[in-house]
């Protein structure tokens, strides 16, 4: 079955496959995030970018089995890759500065709401008053998380929100690129773009490790294995994301953005001993509820449109 281009409805079977593929991607990317958060004090943001670039691009090249990786939509491929790398720098920097994993995922819960709003100008989707209301409710949930005196009331949250917005744009562009480029091509260029970004980050001490006198790009054998896993798992996750967004719409896949919050709570506690504040969890719950309602309205709207088309014929 050929992938449906952006803006057209995909079949139910394709949407289910898209959900399964993207869900696997979110599981893998969460494990990759845990790996890099553990490694950041040793290799810094610079090392994380370079290892992700070299290991990730190498993994995609091996998985491509010699297929042509030249992009058809070069401009959007490069723009999306650069935006994603800039977002990754912010994520790694806030983790390096002690931001808890689950807290960062709670902030990222705003991404599906942003995707709903951004899909209006970027994909020509229409949003009714009910979804506008749910987006406002979701915004209130973000305010609960960011209330003065709360655990997330810190300057790192502001750039992280910007990175989440960039991530939402990147997800939509993934859907757009699915009409012209293969998942392998999209993932390869995304991984490869991390190398020049990592080299460009070298002059900035704030992006170096918090241990040692500078970037430790060649740490212990155990750390090297962890970083190889980090790079390769990132590559695999973005292959799955690209495939998932080719099979299902942005609105269908948006709820999966919430799943890392659940795993982040568990893994953050088990590995780093992190326990988020109740305000973070309460705000995240409001945001998630608003996002799920958005998806419900999207499904209702699509069902009504199909019923109208059937009645017209």
| Element at 225 (helix H, strand E) | helix 221-247
For the chain, how many structural domains are there in total? 1
Per-residue DSSP letter, 67: -
How far is residue 76's CA from residue 122's CA, in Å, rounded to a whole number?
Answer: 13
Residue 100 lies in a domain: yes
Within 13 Å of residue 4, how many CA atoms lie on the same side as its CB?
Answer: 17
How far is residue 250's CA from residue 248's CA, in Å, rounded to a whole number?
Answer: 7
pLDDT tens, residue by residue, 156-198 = 999 999 999 999 899 889 888 988 999 999 999 999 999 999 9
Residue 265 lies in a domain: yes
Q: Residues 175, 243: contact at Cβ < 8 Å?
A: no
Give the length of the chain.
313
Asked if the model's pLDDT at residue 8 lies above 60, the reply is no
Asked if the model's pLDDT at residue 3 lies above 60, the reply is no
Banded pLDDT at 153 (limits 50, 70, 90)? confident
Residue 125 lies in a domain: yes
The most confident of 4-8, 250-254, 263-267, 300-304, by mean pLDDT: 263-267
How far is residue 79's CA from residue 148's CA, in Å, rounded to a whole number?
Answer: 35
Cβ contacts of 257 within 8 Å, gap of 6 or more? 26, 108, 109, 111, 112, 115, 171, 291
Mean predicted lDDT score pLDDT of the chain = 83
How far is residue 281's CA from residue 272's CA, in Å, rounded to a whole number?
Answer: 18
- Most distant CA pair in the chain: distance in Å? 72
Asked if the model's pLDDT at residue 79 lies above 80, the reply is yes
Residue 73 lies in a domain: yes
The answer to whether the Cα torsion of 29, 30, 35, 38 is positive or negative is positive
pLDDT of residue 151: 77
**Choice between 72 and 279, residue whose per-residue pLDDT is larger:** 72
pLDDT of residue 9: 45
Residue 7 lies in a domain: no
Residue 4 lies in a domain: no
Residue 6 lies in a domain: no
How far is residue 188's CA from residue 224's CA, in Å, rounded to a whole number?
Answer: 21
pLDDT tens, residue by residue, 265-308 = 888 888 888 888 887 778 778 877 876 776 676 667 667 767 77
pLDDT of residue 177: 92
Residue closest to 228 by CA, chosen among 36, 80, 96 = 36
Express as a percent the part of the chain with pLDDT over 90. 39
| Element at 147 (helix H, strand E) | none
For the purposes of burial, counting CB atoms within 10 Å of the CB of 210, is it exposed (0-12), middle (13-18) or buried (19 or more)?
exposed
Question: pTM for this structure?
Answer: 0.81
Write out the residue range of the structural domain in which residue 50 sits: 12-312
């Amino acid at each position: 079955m050929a992938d449906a281009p952006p803006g057209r409805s995909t079949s139910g079977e394709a949407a289910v496959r898209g959900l399964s593929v993207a869900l696997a991607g979110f599981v893998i990317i969460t494990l990759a995030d845990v790996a890099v958060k553990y490694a950041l004090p040793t290799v810094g943001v610079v090392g994380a970018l370079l290892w992700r670039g070299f290991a990730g691009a190498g993994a995609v090249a091996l998985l491509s089995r010699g297929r042509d990786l030249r992009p058809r939509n070069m401009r959007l491929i490069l723009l999306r890759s650069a935006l994603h790398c800039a977002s990754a720098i912010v994520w790694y920097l806030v983790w390096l500065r002690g931001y808890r994993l689950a807290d960062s995922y709670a902030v990222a819960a705003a991404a599906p709401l942003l995707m709903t709003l951004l899909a209006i100008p970027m994909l020509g989707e229409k949003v009714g008053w009910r979804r506008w209301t749910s987006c406002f409710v979701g915004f209130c949930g973000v305010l609960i998380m960011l209330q003065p005196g709360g655990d997330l009331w810190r300057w790192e949250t502001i750039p992280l929100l910007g990175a989440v917005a960039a991530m939402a744009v990147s997800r939509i562009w993934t859907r757009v690129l699915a009409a012209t480029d293969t998942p392998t091509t999209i993932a390869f260029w995304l991984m490869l773009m991390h190398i020049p970004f990592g080299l460009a980050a070298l002059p900035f001490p704030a992006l170096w490790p918090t241990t040692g006198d500078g970037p430790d790009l060649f740490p212990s054998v155990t750390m090297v294995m962890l970083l190889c896993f980090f790079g390769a798992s990132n590559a695999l996750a973005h292959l799955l994301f690209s495939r998932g967004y080719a099979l299902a719409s942005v609105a269908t896949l948006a709820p999966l953005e919430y799943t890392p919050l659940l795993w982040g709570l568990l893994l953050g506690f088990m590995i780093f001993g992190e326990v988020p504040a109740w305000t973070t969890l309460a705000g995240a719950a409001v945001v998630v509820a608003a996002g799920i309602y958005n998806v419900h309205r999207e499904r209702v709207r699509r069902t009504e449109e199909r019923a109208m088309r059937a009645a017209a014929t």
